[in-house]
């Protein structure tokens, strides 16, 4: 490629354009070279097409002036081979053949212009200037496109970083909400992290996409956020709840949903919060949804929530064996749980659940849970 420099008014110009003059007649080569050199061009004469091609492969050229009829390779073949080397290089045919079909063929092969011998020097200069201006505009456009692509790539990278930072800020907010709930309901401390980790593993095993997985993770993480509005006298009551207290406790699904649905990035997650107590057979609450009416994230969460509850210590009992939890979940497939989710759960090795239970006994950042 020729050397581009910044000229007046910020325009890119070619630094002393290089012209290849190809003609088997030495006198014509010398005359054309002398005329163009006087105009400030760097001219290289060649006696045949092959010599010209060798020069093209070793030196930069901005324009080719070529005779049409030459011994060996003719000018038409030279156009084809020159443009295969540099598709943007302009070629001006200079010939004594007054044949319109030949001129058309030269243009079809990619010639920029066609000059008949004998020619006026002003005609030569004008054709050369036009061809080089055309090349300059082509190169400017290429540089513009290259700079534009680079700018788009930089802006895309900056936007991606900004979105990642924003998502991390979102997750920090969610962690603060979950931390506040842990302080209010110390009995289930760490439950949000553990059940989210279990939910993510099953969702990935079901080939859930990353975008949906993020929403499922957030819904699982915040499933009990509505309990923030439940009175401590009910939430921390050591004995069984009365019927009225059970009704109040069940409102936490609607409360959590109403809190989250107004937050744009949590709207999808809010549906999981609303539906996390639904059962596959329709006997759950608050809407009595059944089967596929229940969001997939809520159906996966239901299995994860039961698993964590059974294999974790509670004030009223010690953690149950993993096999006991698996048997209980399998027994309720089709009633409490989605059979497809249960099938995926049972197909995964026990080591996964035991490892997660061990590693997520303490609070973890939400972004770490997504990497399980």
Tokens at 28, concatenated = 């014509």
CA distance 292 to 269: 17
**Do 322 and 205 reside in the same domain of the chain?**
yes
Residue numbers of the domain that contains 302: 164-369
**Do 178 and 324 reside in the same domain of the chain?**
yes
CB count in 10 Å sphere of residue 118: 7
* Position 279 in a domain: yes
* Position 209 in a domain: yes
Q: How many domains does the chain have?
A: 2
CA distance 196 to 188: 14
**Do 361 and 266 reside in the same domain of the chain?**
yes
Specify the residue for token string 């002398």.
34
* Position 154 in a domain: no
**Do 195 and 49 reside in the same domain of the chain?**
no
- Per-residue pLDDT of the chain (372 residues), as tens digits, is 444 544 444 444 445 789 999 999 998 989 999 999 999 899 999 999 999 999 998 888 899 999 888 888 988 899 889 988 888 899 998 888 777 787 788 888 888 888 888 888 898 999 999 999 988 888 888 888 888 888 888 888 888 777 777 767 776 767 766 666 666 655 556 778 888 889 999 999 999 998 899 899 989 988 988 988 889 888 888 888 999 999 999 999 999 999 889 888 888 999 999 999 999 999 999 999 999 999 999 999 999 999 988 988 776 678 899 999 999 999 999 999 999 999 999 999 998 888 877 775 544 455 555 555
**Do 127 and 258 reside in the same domain of the chain?**
no
* Position 238 in a domain: yes
**Do 171 and 141 reside in the same domain of the chain?**
no
**Do 133 and 199 reside in the same domain of the chain?**
no
* Position 302 in a domain: yes
**Do 91 and 170 reside in the same domain of the chain?**
no
**Do 55 and 188 reside in the same domain of the chain?**
no
* Position 133 in a domain: yes
Give the domain CATH number at 15: 3.40.50.2300
**Do 185 and 83 reside in the same domain of the chain?**
no
- Identify the bridge partners of residue 65 per DSSP, sorted by sequence position: 21, 92
Of 101, 116, 145, the residue at which a domain comes to its end is 145
* Position 158 in a domain: no
Specify the length of the chain in residues: 372
CB 52 within 8 Å of CB 5: no
**Do 226 and 323 reside in the same domain of the chain?**
yes
CB 102 within 8 Å of CB 68: yes
Give the domain CATH number at 195: 1.10.3210.10
């Amino acid at each position: 490629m020729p050397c581009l420099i910044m000229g007046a008014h910020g325009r890119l110009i070619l630094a002393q354009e290089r012209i290849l003059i190809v003609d088997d007649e030495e006198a014509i080569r010398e005359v054309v070279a002398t005329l163009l050199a006087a105009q400030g061009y760097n001219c290289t004469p060649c006696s045949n097409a092959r010599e010209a091609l060798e020069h093209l492969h070793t030196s930069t050229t901005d324009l080719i002036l070529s005779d049409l009829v030459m011994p060996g390779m003719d000018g038409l073949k030279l156009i084809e081979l020159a443009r295969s080397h540099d598709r943007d290089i302009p070629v001006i045919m200079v010939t004594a053949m007054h044949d319109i079909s030949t001129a058309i063929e030269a243009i079809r092969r990619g010639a920029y212009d066609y000059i008949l011998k004998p020619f006026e020097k002003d005609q030569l200069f004008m054709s050369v200037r036009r061809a080089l201006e055309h090349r300059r505009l082509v190169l400017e456009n290429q540089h513009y496109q290259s700079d534009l692509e680079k700018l788009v790539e930089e802006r895309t990278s900056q936007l991606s970083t900004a979105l990642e930072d924003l998502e991390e800020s979102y997750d920090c907010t969610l962690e603060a909400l979950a931390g506040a709930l842990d302080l209010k309901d110390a009995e289930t401390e760490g439950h949000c992290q553990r059940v989210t980790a279990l939910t993510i593993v099953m969702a990935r095993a079901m080939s859930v996409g990353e975008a949906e997985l993020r929403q499922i993770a957030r819904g699982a993480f915040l499933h009990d956020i509505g309990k923030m509005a439940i009175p401590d006298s009910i939430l921390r009551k050591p004995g069984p709840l009365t019927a009225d207290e059970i009704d109040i406790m069940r409102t936490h699904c609607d409360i959590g949903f109403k809190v989250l649905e107004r937050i744009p990035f949590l709207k999808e997650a809010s549906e999981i919060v609303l539906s996390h107590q639904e059962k596959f057979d329709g006997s759950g609450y608050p809407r009595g949804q059944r089967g596929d009416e229940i969001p997939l994230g809520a159906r996966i969460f239901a299995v994860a929530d039961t698993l964590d509850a059974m294999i974790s210590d509670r004030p009223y009992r010690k953690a149950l064996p993993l096999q006991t939890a698996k048997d209980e979940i399998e027994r309720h497939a089709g009633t409490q749980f989605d059979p497809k989710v249960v099938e995926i759960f049972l197909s995964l090795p026990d080591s996964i659940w035991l490892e997660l239970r061990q590693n997520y006994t303490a609070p973890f950042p939400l972004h770490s849970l997504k990497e399980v």
